[in-house]
Homo-oligomer: A and B are copies of this chain.
Amino acid sequence: MNDRTETAAAEPGETVTIAGWAHEIRDLGGIAFLIVRDRTGKIQVKFEKDAMDDDLVETGTEVSRESVVSVTGAVEEEERAPTGVEVVPESVEVLAPAEPGLPLDPSEKVDAELPTRLDNRTLDLRRDEAKAIFEIRAEILRAAREAFRELGGTEITTPKIVATGTEGGTELFPITYFGREAFMNQSPQLFKQLMVGSGLERVFEIGPIFRAEEHNTPRHLNEATSIDFESAFIDHEEAMDACEHVVRSAYEAVAENCESQLETLGYEGFEAPEEAFPRLTYEEAIERINATGELDEQLEWGDDLPTEGERALGADVDGHYFITDWPSEIKPFYIMDHDDGELSTGFDMMAPSMELVSGGQREHRHDHLVEGFEQQGLDPEAFEYYTKMFKYGMPPHAGWAIGAERLVMTMLDLPNIREAVLFPRDRQRLSP
């Protein structure tokens, strides 16, 4: 369809062929309008019943909603038309008819529940709002990769089918791999670390991760997209700088390049965060949460932060912030401790009431790492492909991972993470 003109590009005075969906038909008696929708917008096609061929009028005004049509005709100025122009049709063709009784109405005259929308994503993404979310999501991924390249990162692809996982077997999906037991990878953690020890030094990956956690909440997925970064020769502070750069870049790109999508979603004054993200220590975080008085019981040093505590602190800080210097025992064994051994270099980034990023400086000393595996109850032998490389000059390094869907969700203030993924996977949902 080389000769197709997108509706937004149809200029008065031209004869064009447009193609799109029959969004709406308004029959006023002697005159009728067919509104054709494509990804660039909508355009009005005018049928003057007495002045036009009967077949033409019938095809154009009796076509069912959401059928795909192609219309050839002259574009004319018409100030009463929604876009200021209309098409006077010479021919109309139905390229793909739609059955009546759509499970979901893209023109939104009937509100649909999330499960119905997820079952019918094709129709759901004909709605401007749903489409806008995924256009913004694409822009976030583009901007994140560009930010990584500004930092000198090399994009890598690591395997999703693996022999072992760092969290043991409970949170892994088992897979049968040519008669052998294998798993879907829950994180590129080990592989990206193997690559910072290589000549690449600084790497990033945006790809799927798989977690067999039995969560069933508005903010957990069993298949998600992880935005991973890892770099040799940086510490946890520099890792946080890099994280802030990537997140800020994503916000800036959306503010700059997604104006119409933000408008569609009803955002006024969407702005990228300007201030540096505050870095609170875990101890300060506990104190501030306790000071809000929002929790029934005061938190004590060593407690993990409960969801309500995160919410209270998020409301208090009112913006992105890091929590640093966690008790070592709360953080994974592959995170480096500070010299005292009590505190970890691990950090979380909150956005602001939900964990968005988790990272830290990594343990690069072979013997400490192997000890960590043992203390975790994991068999170091099973991870030898990984630990072995720490014997051959593994530089100090740090990194982090952002949940891409959480980034979209928190940026756009979506009520459910499933709004940020085309075809979510959760305990119940495996299809489409």
- A interface with B by C-beta (< 8 Å): 1-2, 4, 19, 21-22, 37-39, 66-68, 95-99, 102-103, 106, 119-128, 130-131, 134-135, 137-138, 141-142, 145, 149, 154-164, 173-178, 180, 182, 184, 191, 194-195, 197-202, 207-208, 210, 212, 214, 222-223, 225, 233-235, 238, 364-365, 385-386, 389-396, 404, 421-425, 427, 430-432
Q: Which of these, B131, B138, B238, B386, contacts A199 with CB under 8 Å?
A: B131
Give Cα A249 to B134, complex, Å. 25
Q: Are A155 and B138 in contact, with the CB atoms below 8 A?
A: yes
Q: Are B177 and A175 in contact, with the CB atoms below 8 A?
A: no
Q: Are B163 and A430 in contact, with the CB atoms below 8 A?
A: yes
Give Cα A392 to B107, complex, Å. 14
Q: Are B423 and A159 in contact, with the CB atoms below 8 A?
A: yes
| Residues from chain B with Cβ under 8 Å of A121 in the complex | 194-195, 198
Q: A122-B389, A391-B99 are in contact. Are A208 and B210 (CB under 8 A)?
A: no
Q: Are A223 and B98 in contact, with the CB atoms below 8 A?
A: no
| Residues from chain B with Cβ under 8 Å of A365 in the complex | 96
| Residues from chain B with Cβ under 8 Å of A176 in the complex | 173-175
Q: Are A430 and B180 in contact, with the CB atoms below 8 A?
A: yes
Q: A138-B155, A161-B425, A392-B66 are in contact. Are A212 and B385 (CB under 8 A)?
A: no
Q: Report the minimal beta-carbon distance from A400 to chain B, rounded to whole angstroms.
A: 17
Q: Are B392 and A198 in contact, with the CB atoms below 8 A?
A: no
Q: Which of these, B38, B173, B198, B389, contacts A175 with CB under 8 Å?
A: B173
Give Cα A197 to B66, complex, Å. 10
Q: Report the minimal beta-carbon distance from A101 to chain B, rounded to whole angstroms.
A: 10
Q: Which of these, B68, B202, B207, B234, contacts A395 with CB under 8 Å?
A: B68
Q: A39-B199, A161-B173, A184-B184 are in contact. Are A178 and B212 (CB under 8 A)?
A: yes
| Residues from chain B with Cβ under 8 Å of A177 in the complex | 173, 430
| Residues from chain B with Cβ under 8 Å of A394 in the complex | 68, 96, 122
Give Cα A38 to B421, complex, Å. 39
| Residues from chain B with Cβ under 8 Å of A225 in the complex | 157
Q: What are 21 residue pairs bridging A and B, where the CB atoms are less than 8 Å apart in the complex?
A: A4-B233, A39-B199, A68-B396, A96-B365, A96-B396, A99-B391, A102-B392, A125-B195, A126-B198, A130-B199, A135-B200, A142-B145, A142-B155, A157-B208, A159-B422, A159-B425, A161-B430, A162-B431, A173-B175, A175-B175, A208-B208
Q: Which residue of B lies closest to A394 (CB)?
A: B96
Contacts A39-B201, A127-B199 supplied; 18 other A-B pairs, CB < 8 Å: A4-B233, A22-B393, A39-B200, A66-B393, A68-B395, A96-B365, A96-B393, A122-B394, A125-B200, A138-B155, A157-B208, A159-B422, A159-B424, A162-B431, A178-B214, A191-B423, A194-B432, A207-B208
Give Cα A99 to B389, complex, Å. 10
Q: Report the minimal beta-carbon distance from A416 to chain B, rounded to whole angstroms.
A: 17
Give Cα A160 to B154, complex, Å. 24
Q: Report the minimal beta-carbon distance from A389 to chain B, rounded to whole angstroms.
A: 4
Q: A396-B96, A432-B385 are in contact. Are A207 and B210 (CB under 8 A)?
A: no
Give Cα A210 to B158, complex, Å. 13
Q: Are B4 and A197 in contact, with the CB atoms below 8 A?
A: no
Give Cα A223 to B99, complex, Å. 39
Give Cα A182 to B176, complex, Å. 11
Q: Are B134 and A427 in contact, with the CB atoms below 8 A?
A: no
